[in-house]
Amino acid sequence: MSDSRETQRPGSRGPGSRVPRAALAVGAAVVIGAAATVTVAAWPDATGRPTGPAEAAWSEGAPSESARSDAKAAAPSSPGVSARPVTGPARSVPLVREQRPVGGQGWRPLASTRVVVAAGSEHALADEGRLLAGELGKRYAQGVAARPGDVELVLGAPGVAGVSRTPESYTVTTGDGRVRITGGDEAGVFYGTRTLKQAVRSGGGLTEGVLRDAPAKPRRGFALDTARKHFDAEWIEDRIREMGDLKLNEFGLHFSDDQGFRIASASHPEIVSESHLTHAEVRRIVALAASRHIRVIPEIDSPGHLGAVIAAHPDLQLRSVSGKPSRGAVDIANPKAARIVDELFAEYARLFRGTYWHLGGDEYRALTVDDPEATYPRLAREAKRKYGPRARVQDLATGWLNDRAAVIAGHGKTDVRAWNDGYFAGGVVDAPKSREVAYWTGKEIGARKPLEYLREGRRVLNVNDEYLYYVLGEPNTFRYPTGRRIYEEWHPRVLRGGEAVPARYDAQITGGQFAVWCDLHGAQTQDQVARGIRLPLFATAQKLWDPKKPALDWEGFKELAGEVE
């Protein structure tokens, strides 16, 4: 039960409470007049139009009626509330998409500052309020009126003019010595607190006026291969916290592959690697992610990349007509293979919250040869038995993924995706259009270009291995991605290589995901990985939030990244 008492957050001051740096203005983002008014319109894309979920509500040029109303509400604060004025736009990563400052002292945290959750929002926003209070080293209160110096969090606020109800959107209104953060949902309010926290770190506070922000893409992710290399729970939790501050909302956990199986299993303990996460650690990671509005998406890759399962069950391994074993691939004509995978699904569906699941589906060895039917006649016979005389091995593989999707849907996981090389053209069995395509490469045998999936009406997640793959040891043609290259060259429509698909398909591209793969697991330590992915992850977060050319050049963005941490 909520109450209106004021509380002090327990514990020592964390990194969020360090002394703010001096305010810094970004000349490219604002035009600061000598008197009072600064106007920043939504930055346009290549067509000159604002983009993203808030597009309909935002316009360039003169402020809208709601913006004028908000600016009036954010009138200059009372003299003396802030000892030194705060000027310039909020400096945060991702960069704020629209800000309309007005004249005034701005807001800085004071000794008396509290983080206040407004009456009616206590149940929804208590976690967000307590987190921000702890980061700023300030008191937390709920259900009481905000006073000068306070930060107020409000969910929805339908009576406030101009507050967007778009999911993950937020509005920050600064004036009269107060900051009010409102959001279209809880995630939006949380993102507003991230912007405020970073603005305090980078510039000391917020200029007066109205700030509106919303993401261009709904899926903004980071994926980690823990199968080939074990990462401890504390390291993963640190990445979750970083993701939250960058407004990323998906954490992909690839914990099963040829080299290892990295989460404890009660149903099949024989397949688990010595170094692994316990169920308690996974629950802790999932809970932390939820508190940062991040969904954890588990992946048990099949029917390839099951080497850890095959090591304990060698009778499941796929063999060619000559008897040669196919690395990591199970024989999908063997019912036992499906039974074990489905039993693992049932176990882990209870461990992970939500409706999301990754089926894998990539690099099945039977489909990486020139003539699958001649090389794997047992699979060819089973395909014809199940799906008719025209069926081929690709149909049996598609049917396998369809069956696994049906099984996991029975456990409540209805938002599923698979790698692009798990979808095939010209077969008698097809994947449903509702299944998302995670497009990672166009280098495999029989590779299909991204446009083929888009023309079929499918939704596509961008995991372009030219830009978004951090592969330990740089095997084959992989090179460690740089933040600069992502920042300057990549955006969500660049799905394969450096080529962008036409803008008319933008709505089908759900977002993107930066991924760490541990092919040569000893090439880097955990700490080296964390340092290596830092700037690429910052850049990815920026381009998923706002794909347009950023207002800052790379050097300016890199400097900002150092200020907001």
pLDDT tens per residue across span 167-180: 999 999 999 999 99
Helix (H, G, I), strand (E, B) or coil at 68: helix
- Intervals of CATH 3.20.20.80 along the chain: 219-564
CA distance 467 to 481: 6
Mean pLDDT of the chain: 87
Q: What is the pLDDT of residues 207-253, one digit of tens each?
A: 999 999 999 999 999 999 999 999 999 999 999 999 999 999 999 99
219-564 homologous superfamily: Glycosidases (3.20.20.80)
Question: Residue 260 pLDDT > 50, yes or no?
Answer: yes
pLDDT number for residue 83? 62
Identity of the amino acid at 54: A
Q: What is the mean pLDDT of residues 94-104?
A: 92
CA distance 235 to 229: 13
Q: How sure is the predictor about 71, in pLDDT bands with cuts at 50, 70 and 90?
A: very low
Q: How many CB atoms lie within 10 A of CB 412?
A: 12
H/E run at residue 547: none
CB 195 within 8 A of CB 211: yes
In 3D space, the residue among 503, 305, 537, 307 whose CA is nearest the CA of residue 421 turns out to be 305
pLDDT number for residue 184? 86
Question: Residue 42 pLDDT > 70, yes or no?
Answer: no
Q: What is the pLDDT of residues 399-454, one digit of tens each?
A: 999 999 999 999 999 999 999 999 999 999 999 999 999 999 877 767 899 999 99
CB 368 within 8 A of CB 446: no
Is 363 a known active-site residue? Answer: yes
In 3D space, the residue among 40, 112, 92 whose CA is nearest the CA of residue 71 turns out to be 40
In 3D space, the residue among 139, 169, 22 whose CA is nearest the CA of residue 87 turns out to be 22
pLDDT number for residue 258? 97
Question: Residue 523 pLDDT > 80, yes or no?
Answer: yes
Q: How sure is the predictor about 145, in pLDDT bands with cuts at 50, 70 and 90?
A: very high
Partner residues linked to 509 by β-bridges: 460
Helix (H, G, I), strand (E, B) or coil at 290: helix
Q: Looking at 320-433, which runs of residues are DSSP E strands?
A: 325-330, 356-360, 415-419
Catalytic member of 128, 363, 382, 563: 363
- Intervals of CATH 3.30.379.10 along the chain: 98-213
CA distance 451 to 505: 9
Q: How far is CA 203 from the centre of its chain?
A: 26
Which residues, 6+ apart, have CB-to-CB distance to 215 below 8 Å? 52, 53, 168, 247, 544, 545, 546
Q: What is the pLDDT of residues 349-388, one digit of tens each?
A: 999 999 999 999 999 999 999 999 999 999 999 999 999 9
Which of 2.40.50.140, 1.10.260.30, 1.10.132.50, 3.30.379.10 is the CATH number of 98-213? 3.30.379.10
**CB hemisphere CA count around 189 (13 angstroms):** 30
* CA end-to-end span of the chain: 34
- Among 276-280, 336-340, 438-442, 493-497, which stretch is predicted with the lowest mean pLDDT? 438-442
For CA atoms 219, 222, 226, 232, the dihedral sign is negative
| % helix, strand, coil for the chain, step of 5 | 35, 20, 45
